[in-house]
Structure 1
Amino acid sequence: MTSLPRPASSAILQRDGRFLLVLRRNPPSADMYAFPGGRAEEGEMPDETALREFAEETGIMARNPRLFRTYDLLTRAEDGTVSSHFFLSVFLVDADEDQVAVAADDAADIGWFTLEEIRRLPVPPSVLECAELIISS
Protein backbone atom coordinates (compact mmCIF):
# COMPACT_ATOMS: atom_id res chain seq x y z
CA MET A 1 0.00 0.00 0.00
CA THR A 2 1.38 3.39 -0.95
CA SER A 3 0.74 6.48 1.08
CA LEU A 4 -0.03 9.87 -0.37
CA PRO A 5 2.84 12.30 0.05
CA ARG A 6 2.45 15.05 2.63
CA PRO A 7 2.77 18.57 1.22
CA ALA A 8 5.83 20.58 2.20
CA SER A 9 7.54 23.70 0.88
CA SER A 10 10.93 25.36 1.10
CA ALA A 11 12.25 28.76 0.09
CA ILE A 12 15.51 29.81 -1.54
CA LEU A 13 16.95 33.22 -0.69
CA GLN A 14 20.13 34.17 -2.50
CA ARG A 15 22.32 37.19 -1.78
CA ASP A 16 25.60 38.01 -3.49
CA GLY A 17 26.08 34.45 -4.77
CA ARG A 18 25.32 32.89 -1.39
CA PHE A 19 22.32 30.81 -0.34
CA LEU A 20 20.66 30.93 3.08
CA LEU A 21 20.64 27.43 4.60
CA VAL A 22 19.52 26.13 7.98
CA LEU A 23 20.96 23.14 9.83
CA ARG A 24 17.99 20.84 10.42
CA ARG A 25 17.37 19.65 13.96
CA ASN A 26 14.53 17.21 13.10
CA PRO A 27 13.96 14.38 10.58
CA PRO A 28 13.71 13.72 7.72
CA SER A 29 16.86 15.81 7.10
CA ALA A 30 18.19 16.02 10.66
CA ASP A 31 21.83 17.16 10.88
CA MET A 32 21.80 18.30 7.24
CA TYR A 33 21.80 21.79 5.80
CA ALA A 34 18.74 22.68 3.72
CA PHE A 35 16.72 25.59 2.46
CA PRO A 36 14.31 26.81 5.17
CA GLY A 37 10.99 25.01 4.91
CA GLY A 38 8.66 22.42 6.33
CA ARG A 39 5.28 20.75 6.31
CA ALA A 40 2.13 22.48 5.15
CA GLU A 41 -0.60 23.26 7.65
CA GLU A 42 -4.21 22.29 6.93
CA GLY A 43 -5.65 24.35 4.06
CA GLU A 44 -2.38 26.16 3.37
CA MET A 45 -1.23 26.75 -0.20
CA PRO A 46 2.39 25.75 -1.04
CA ASP A 47 3.57 29.36 -1.43
CA GLU A 48 2.02 30.26 1.95
CA THR A 49 3.84 27.31 3.56
CA ALA A 50 7.15 28.46 2.08
CA LEU A 51 6.78 32.02 3.41
CA ARG A 52 5.53 30.92 6.86
CA GLU A 53 8.26 28.31 7.36
CA PHE A 54 10.93 30.71 6.10
CA ALA A 55 9.88 33.32 8.64
CA GLU A 56 9.65 30.75 11.46
CA GLU A 57 13.12 29.35 10.81
CA THR A 58 15.04 32.51 9.87
CA GLY A 59 13.17 35.47 11.33
CA ILE A 60 13.10 37.03 7.84
CA MET A 61 9.82 38.07 6.23
CA ALA A 62 10.26 36.92 2.64
CA ARG A 63 7.97 37.89 -0.25
CA ASN A 64 7.25 37.25 -3.93
CA PRO A 65 7.41 33.41 -3.91
CA ARG A 66 8.03 31.92 -7.36
CA LEU A 67 7.76 28.17 -7.88
CA PHE A 68 11.18 26.86 -8.95
CA ARG A 69 11.12 23.04 -8.64
CA THR A 70 9.06 20.23 -7.16
CA TYR A 71 10.29 16.95 -5.68
CA ASP A 72 8.60 13.71 -4.71
CA LEU A 73 10.75 12.76 -1.71
CA LEU A 74 10.34 9.18 -0.55
CA THR A 75 12.50 7.90 2.31
CA ARG A 76 12.62 4.22 3.20
CA ALA A 77 13.74 2.53 6.40
CA GLU A 78 16.30 -0.29 6.25
CA ASP A 79 13.49 -2.87 6.09
CA GLY A 80 12.06 -1.17 2.99
CA THR A 81 9.04 0.42 4.65
CA VAL A 82 8.30 4.06 3.90
CA SER A 83 9.54 6.26 6.75
CA SER A 84 8.57 9.58 5.15
CA HIS A 85 6.96 10.76 1.92
CA PHE A 86 6.73 14.44 1.02
CA PHE A 87 5.82 16.38 -2.10
CA LEU A 88 8.16 19.36 -1.81
CA SER A 89 7.50 22.65 -3.60
CA VAL A 90 10.63 24.82 -3.77
CA PHE A 91 10.19 28.57 -4.21
CA LEU A 92 12.54 31.43 -4.97
CA VAL A 93 11.84 34.36 -2.64
CA ASP A 94 12.93 37.95 -2.10
CA ALA A 95 13.63 39.78 1.15
CA ASP A 96 14.92 43.17 2.19
CA GLU A 97 18.73 43.27 2.42
CA ASP A 98 18.66 44.73 5.95
CA GLN A 99 16.85 41.72 7.44
CA VAL A 100 19.25 39.54 9.44
CA ALA A 101 18.79 35.77 9.57
CA VAL A 102 18.54 34.11 12.99
CA ALA A 103 18.22 30.35 13.56
CA ALA A 104 14.80 29.68 15.10
CA ASP A 105 12.10 26.99 15.33
CA ASP A 106 13.72 23.65 14.38
CA ALA A 107 16.83 25.23 12.84
CA ALA A 108 19.93 24.37 14.90
CA ASP A 109 22.14 26.80 12.97
CA ILE A 110 21.94 29.11 9.97
CA GLY A 111 24.37 30.52 7.43
CA TRP A 112 25.03 31.91 3.97
CA PHE A 113 26.90 29.50 1.68
CA THR A 114 28.36 29.58 -1.82
CA LEU A 115 27.75 26.70 -4.22
CA GLU A 116 31.31 25.45 -3.60
CA GLU A 117 30.66 25.42 0.17
CA ILE A 118 27.31 23.66 -0.33
CA ARG A 119 29.09 20.89 -2.25
CA ARG A 120 31.12 20.15 0.91
CA LEU A 121 28.17 20.29 3.34
CA PRO A 122 25.80 17.47 4.29
CA VAL A 123 22.78 18.49 2.17
CA PRO A 124 19.85 16.65 0.60
CA PRO A 125 20.40 16.06 -3.15
CA SER A 126 17.54 18.46 -3.99
CA VAL A 127 19.37 21.36 -2.28
CA LEU A 128 22.55 20.84 -4.28
CA GLU A 129 20.57 20.42 -7.51
CA CYS A 130 18.64 23.68 -6.97
CA ALA A 131 21.79 25.64 -6.10
CA GLU A 132 23.60 24.32 -9.17
CA LEU A 133 20.63 25.13 -11.44
CA ILE A 134 20.42 28.70 -10.12
CA ILE A 135 24.16 29.36 -10.43
CA SER A 136 24.35 27.90 -13.94
CA SER A 137 21.37 29.89 -15.26
Structure 2
Amino acid sequence: MTRRPTLGAIAVVVHEGRTLLVQRRNPPNAGLWGFPGGHVELGETALDAAARELLEETGVTARPLSYLTNIDVIGQDDDGDITHHYLLAAVHCAYVAGLPAADDDALDAAWVPVEAALAGDRPLSENVGSVLRMVLD
Protein backbone atom coordinates (compact mmCIF):
# COMPACT_ATOMS: atom_id res chain seq x y z
CA MET A 1 0.00 0.00 0.00
CA THR A 2 1.33 3.43 -0.95
CA ARG A 3 1.31 6.03 1.79
CA ARG A 4 0.21 9.46 0.63
CA PRO A 5 -0.56 12.80 2.24
CA THR A 6 -4.11 13.35 3.47
CA LEU A 7 -6.02 16.35 2.14
CA GLY A 8 -7.66 18.64 4.66
CA ALA A 9 -9.24 22.07 4.66
CA ILE A 10 -9.28 24.81 7.30
CA ALA A 11 -11.78 27.67 7.54
CA VAL A 12 -10.28 31.09 8.19
CA VAL A 13 -13.04 33.42 9.39
CA VAL A 14 -12.49 37.03 10.46
CA HIS A 15 -15.53 38.97 11.66
CA GLU A 16 -15.72 42.28 13.52
CA GLY A 17 -12.03 42.26 14.43
CA ARG A 18 -12.03 38.68 15.69
CA THR A 19 -11.06 35.33 14.22
CA LEU A 20 -12.69 32.01 15.00
CA LEU A 21 -10.31 29.46 16.53
CA VAL A 22 -10.78 26.01 18.01
CA GLN A 23 -8.72 24.08 20.51
CA ARG A 24 -7.92 20.70 18.95
CA ARG A 25 -8.93 17.52 20.76
CA ASN A 26 -6.91 15.04 18.65
CA PRO A 27 -3.29 14.67 17.53
CA PRO A 28 -1.23 15.88 15.87
CA ASN A 29 -2.16 19.29 17.36
CA ALA A 30 -4.09 18.19 20.46
CA GLY A 31 -4.43 21.07 22.93
CA LEU A 32 -3.32 23.72 20.44
CA TRP A 33 -5.57 26.43 19.02
CA GLY A 34 -6.03 26.79 15.28
CA PHE A 35 -8.54 27.29 12.53
CA PRO A 36 -11.45 24.84 12.38
CA GLY A 37 -11.07 22.18 9.74
CA GLY A 38 -10.64 18.56 8.85
CA HIS A 39 -10.57 15.98 6.11
CA VAL A 40 -11.86 16.62 2.60
CA GLU A 41 -14.30 13.89 1.60
CA LEU A 42 -14.19 12.16 -1.79
CA GLY A 43 -16.00 14.33 -4.35
CA GLU A 44 -16.03 17.36 -2.06
CA THR A 45 -14.09 20.52 -2.84
CA ALA A 46 -11.79 21.92 -0.20
CA LEU A 47 -13.95 25.07 -0.23
CA ASP A 48 -17.03 23.03 0.68
CA ALA A 49 -15.09 20.93 3.20
CA ALA A 50 -13.91 24.04 5.03
CA ALA A 51 -17.48 25.29 5.45
CA ARG A 52 -18.75 21.84 6.48
CA GLU A 53 -15.98 21.27 9.01
CA LEU A 54 -16.49 24.77 10.44
CA LEU A 55 -20.17 24.01 11.04
CA GLU A 56 -19.43 20.55 12.49
CA GLU A 57 -16.74 21.80 14.88
CA THR A 58 -18.25 25.12 15.96
CA GLY A 59 -21.89 25.44 14.90
CA VAL A 60 -20.93 28.55 12.90
CA THR A 61 -22.08 28.92 9.30
CA ALA A 62 -19.83 30.68 6.79
CA ARG A 63 -19.58 31.05 3.04
CA PRO A 64 -16.27 30.00 1.45
CA LEU A 65 -14.76 32.88 -0.54
CA SER A 66 -11.35 31.81 -1.82
CA TYR A 67 -8.27 29.71 -1.30
CA LEU A 68 -5.53 31.48 0.68
CA THR A 69 -2.66 29.00 0.62
CA ASN A 70 -1.69 25.37 1.17
CA ILE A 71 0.10 24.18 4.28
CA ASP A 72 2.09 20.97 4.67
CA VAL A 73 1.91 19.46 8.15
CA ILE A 74 4.53 16.71 8.33
CA GLY A 75 5.36 14.86 11.53
CA GLN A 76 8.28 12.57 12.26
CA ASP A 77 9.11 10.23 15.10
CA ASP A 78 12.46 10.14 16.93
CA ASP A 79 13.93 7.91 14.20
CA GLY A 80 13.00 10.40 11.48
CA ASP A 81 10.20 8.23 10.07
CA ILE A 82 7.14 10.12 8.81
CA THR A 83 4.21 9.70 11.20
CA HIS A 84 1.73 11.87 9.33
CA HIS A 85 1.49 14.22 6.38
CA TYR A 86 -1.49 16.51 5.86
CA LEU A 87 -1.86 19.01 3.05
CA LEU A 88 -4.24 21.68 4.33
CA ALA A 89 -6.06 24.05 2.01
CA ALA A 90 -6.60 27.30 3.92
CA VAL A 91 -9.94 28.77 2.86
CA HIS A 92 -11.06 32.34 3.54
CA CYS A 93 -14.70 32.21 4.65
CA ALA A 94 -17.26 34.95 5.30
CA TYR A 95 -19.22 34.67 8.55
CA VAL A 96 -22.95 34.11 8.05
CA ALA A 97 -24.44 33.09 11.42
CA GLY A 98 -24.01 31.20 14.66
CA LEU A 99 -22.31 31.32 18.02
CA PRO A 100 -19.21 29.15 18.43
CA ALA A 101 -19.60 26.06 20.59
CA ALA A 102 -17.06 23.24 20.56
CA ASP A 103 -18.30 20.04 18.97
CA ASP A 104 -16.97 17.10 16.96
CA ASP A 105 -13.18 17.01 17.53
CA ALA A 106 -12.80 20.45 19.15
CA LEU A 107 -12.26 20.94 22.90
CA ASP A 108 -13.19 24.62 22.78
CA ALA A 109 -14.20 27.23 20.21
CA ALA A 110 -14.00 31.01 20.54
CA TRP A 111 -13.91 34.31 18.74
CA VAL A 112 -10.43 35.63 19.47
CA PRO A 113 -9.44 39.26 18.86
CA VAL A 114 -7.16 39.34 15.82
CA GLU A 115 -4.47 41.23 17.75
CA ALA A 116 -4.48 38.60 20.52
CA ALA A 117 -4.21 35.75 18.02
CA LEU A 118 -1.32 37.46 16.23
CA ALA A 119 0.38 38.06 19.59
CA GLY A 120 0.10 34.37 20.44
CA ASP A 121 -2.10 34.84 23.52
CA ARG A 122 -2.64 31.06 23.61
CA PRO A 123 -0.75 27.99 22.33
CA LEU A 124 -1.29 28.07 18.58
CA SER A 125 -0.81 25.57 15.79
CA GLU A 126 2.01 26.44 13.45
CA ASN A 127 1.16 28.94 10.69
CA VAL A 128 -1.92 30.47 12.36
CA GLY A 129 -0.34 33.94 12.39
CA SER A 130 0.94 33.83 8.82
CA VAL A 131 -2.40 32.57 7.45
CA LEU A 132 -4.34 35.14 9.45
CA ARG A 133 -2.14 37.91 8.03
CA MET A 134 -3.09 36.75 4.49
CA VAL A 135 -6.72 37.58 5.23
CA LEU A 136 -5.83 40.92 6.76
CA ASP A 137 -3.59 42.03 3.85
Normalising by structure 1, we get a TM-score of 0.89
User: CA shift at 1:83, angstroms?
Assistant: 1.2
Q: Tell me the distance in 2 between the aligned counterparts of 1:114 and 1:79.
A: 39
The residue aligned with 2:4 is 4
Q: Tell me the distance in 1 between the aligned counterparts of 2:30 and 2:11.
A: 18
Q: Is the 8 A contact 1:73 1:88 kept in 2?
A: yes
> Which ranges of 4 or more aligned residues in structure 1 deviate by more than 4 Å?
none
Q: Tell me the distance in 1 between the aligned counterparts of 2:95 and 2:89.
A: 19
The residue aligned with 1:26 is 26
**Is 1:14–2:14 an aligned residue pair?**
yes
User: CA shift at 1:132, angstroms?
Assistant: 2.8
Q: Is the 8 A contact 1:23 1:31 kept in 2?
A: yes
Cα displacement string for residues 46-81 of structure 1 (whole angstroms, at most 9, x for unaligned residues): 112111111100112211331111112211112211
Q: Tell me the distance in 2 between the aligned counterparts of 1:61 and 1:113.
A: 17
Q: CA RMSD in A?
A: 1.6
Q: Give 3-state SS (helix, strand or coil) of 2:30's partner.
A: coil
Structure 2 residue runs without a partner (length 5+)? none
The residue aligned with 1:131 is 132
The 5 Å alignment of 1:44-55 reads 44-55=44-55
User: CA shift at 1:4, angstroms?
Assistant: 2.2
Q: Give 3-state SS (helix, strand or coil) of 2:124's partner.
A: coil
Q: Is the 8 A contact 1:51 1:65 kept in 2?
A: no
The residue aligned with 1:114 is 113
Q: Tell me the distance in 2 between the aligned counterparts of 1:42 and 1:64.
A: 18
Q: How many pairs does the alignment contain? A: 134
Q: Is the 8 A contact 2:47 2:64 kept in 1?
A: no
2:92 partner amino acid = L
User: CA shift at 1:89, angstroms?
Assistant: 0.2
Moved more, 6-15 or 109-118: 109-118
Q: Tell me the distance in 1 between the aligned counterparts of 2:55 and 2:114.
A: 23
Q: Is the 8 A contact 2:64 2:91 kept in 1?
A: no
Cα displacement string for residues 15-74 of structure 1 (whole angstroms, at most 9, x for unaligned residues): 122110000000111100010001112222211211111110011221133111111221
Structure 1 residue runs without a partner (length 5+)? none
